[in-house]
Chain A
Amino acid sequence: MNAKDQEFREFFQAEFRPLRRLGYLLTGDWAEAEDLAQEAMVRTYRAWGRITERDRPGAYARSILVNRRRSLLRRSAVAAKHAEMLRAPEYQPAMGEEAMVLWEAIRSLPQRQRAAIVLRFYEDMSEADVAAVLEMPVGTVKSLVHRGVGKLREKLGPGWQTEGIPGGSDTP
């Protein structure tokens, strides 16, 4: 194994599982998440010499994964039905009722809003980083997060705390 392959393998071992988790949060399906993570890794490997210079292979792989998901969604009717059938029931998330309500609300968001919410709050990315991954202006990301949080608030009802969310606060 040459130095490039060794370096990439270390990256793979560190990042594959987080990438697969990101894929799951975007799709709700582990088989599809695995496929997205694999595809992101293949493309990252092919671009490895280029992206290591920028020292952001993790962000690059996430960008590939998220945008791959978006392009697949354009052909989503079959994929959605198909993914539903392949979903392994034993890997459904184990969580309480309140968290399940929130998870279902996140899953029901439109894809771009969902991606922005997942990257912003699960991956802890800055708005600028989310914008880079989603390949859109920062202003659009702010708008997506704002509208996503608004929709979540709408779905969850008034009982939820909204302190600290940009555009999500009920208090003056």
Chain B
Amino acid sequence: MKMEDHFKETMNRAVANEPPVLDSWDRFERRLGRARRWRIAAAVAGAAAVIAAAVIVVPQLGTSPTPLPKITQPPDPYFGWLNAEDPIGQWKLQHPPTWRVAHFEGVYEVLPPGEVATPAGEPTFAVTIARLSGELEPSAAAEDPTVVRGEWRGGRPYLRIEQKAGDGSVGYIYRIDWSPPCAFQTQGTVCDFEPSVLVVHVYSSDQARFDRYSEDADLVARSIEYWDTTPPPVPASS
């Protein structure tokens, strides 16, 4: 047999045991329809905001302000932490002052003191952040009973997926819907975008490091919020 035939036969075998195609057309329509739904939602939200402003703000004009009750604040777990941000990935986070942020090829790593970043070696503990194209829900996650679903800051849906590496490493992944909110859009402008997710991976090569750093690492992960760096549209000249 020619080697090229070996190639073809091997690749055919590699795809022979493929998972079933179940709801691909529905998923396609959902993916395609999201941009349209966002346009409608943005218009509705804009109208609702105007109405709310009229209802809430206008009656208060001319009235004397009432004193606000004092609220006792719980200790801020982020007190003294530093900020980091990525205008391209459109996120901001906070990290302990002794930790540092490394960056390579669009991927960010937030590292405890002494931990090496990826270009210089393999990190043994890191909170890794990258924005990727795609839907929130990969098909394998739908069948995984350990995946936890919830709502991130700003009402963004997210998944928490436990790490199953099998090499002694431990950790978990937050997979957050990071599509633009399109809140700035007004009627008549196009709010077209590709769906994207922010993948936040709390990774540890061993349990001991995980126990040591995971509390701060989870605070780092949970501090991540959407940063809308999209410039507002230029009003169309009439």
Given A86-B161, A121-B7, A161-B2: A94 and B13 within 8 A (CB)? Answer: yes
Q: Is the CB of B3 within 8 A of A78?
A: no
- Knowing A121-B4, A161-B2, the reply to whether A25 touches B14 (Cβ < 8 A) is yes
Report the interface size class on chain A: 35 or more
| CB pair A92 B17 closer than 8 Å | yes
Bound-state CA distance A21–B24 (Å) is 14
Contact of A102 among B7, B107, B138, B199 (CB under 8 A): B7
> Would you call B10 an interface residue if the criterion is a C-beta within 8 Å of the partner chain's C-beta atoms?
yes
- Asked if B164 is at the interface (CB within 8 A of a chain A CB), the reply is yes
- Could you tell me if B17 and A88 are in contact, using CB atoms closer than 8 angstroms? no
Say which size band chain B's interface belongs to: 35 or more
Least distance between A42 CB and chain B CB atoms (Å): 5
- Cβ of A38 and Cβ of B13 under 8 Å apart? no
A46-98, CB < 8 A from B: 68, 72, 74-79, 81-82, 84-88, 91-95
Chain B residue with the shortest CB-CB distance to A164 = B2
B46 to chain A, nearest CB (A): 25
Interface residues of A in 18-32 (CB under 8 A from B): 20-21, 24-25, 30-32
Question: How far does the alpha carbon of A59 sit from the alpha carbon of B16 in the complex, in Å?
Answer: 22
Residue interface mask B46-87, A partner, CB < 8 A = 1: 000000000000000000000000000000000000000000
B17 touches A94 (CB 8 A): yes
Question: B36 in the interface, Cβ–Cβ < 8 Å?
Answer: no
Name the contact of B17 in the complex, choosing from A17, A68, A93 (C-beta under 8 A): A93
B150 at the interface (CB under 8 A from A): no
Complex Cα distance, B133 from A14, in Å, reads 25
Q: CB-CB contacts of B151-194 with A at 8 A, as 1s and 0s?
A: 00000000001011100000001010000000000000000001
Asked if B216 is at the interface (CB within 8 A of a chain A CB), the reply is no
Q: Are B21 and A17 in contact (CB under 8 A)?
A: yes
- For residue A34, CB closer than 8 A to chain B, the reply is yes
Contact of B10 among A41, A42, A103 (CB under 8 A): A103
| Per-position 1/0 for B139-150, Cβ under 8 A of A | 111011000000
Between A and B, 18 residue pairs with Cβ closer than 8 Å are: A12-B25, A12-B28, A16-B24, A30-B19, A38-B27, A68-B133, A76-B105, A78-B199, A85-B164, A85-B165, A85-B173, A86-B138, A99-B10, A106-B7, A149-B3, A162-B3, A164-B2, A165-B3
The 10 closest A-B pairs by CB, nearest first: A78-B130, A164-B2, A75-B106, A31-B138, A121-B7, A21-B15, A95-B13, A31-B140, A86-B140, A122-B11
> What is A's interface to B at a CB cutoff of 8 Å?
9, 12-13, 16-17, 20-21, 24-25, 30-32, 34-35, 37-39, 41-42, 45, 68, 72, 74-79, 81-82, 84-88, 91-95, 99, 102-103, 106, 117-118, 121-122, 124, 149, 152-153, 160-165, 168
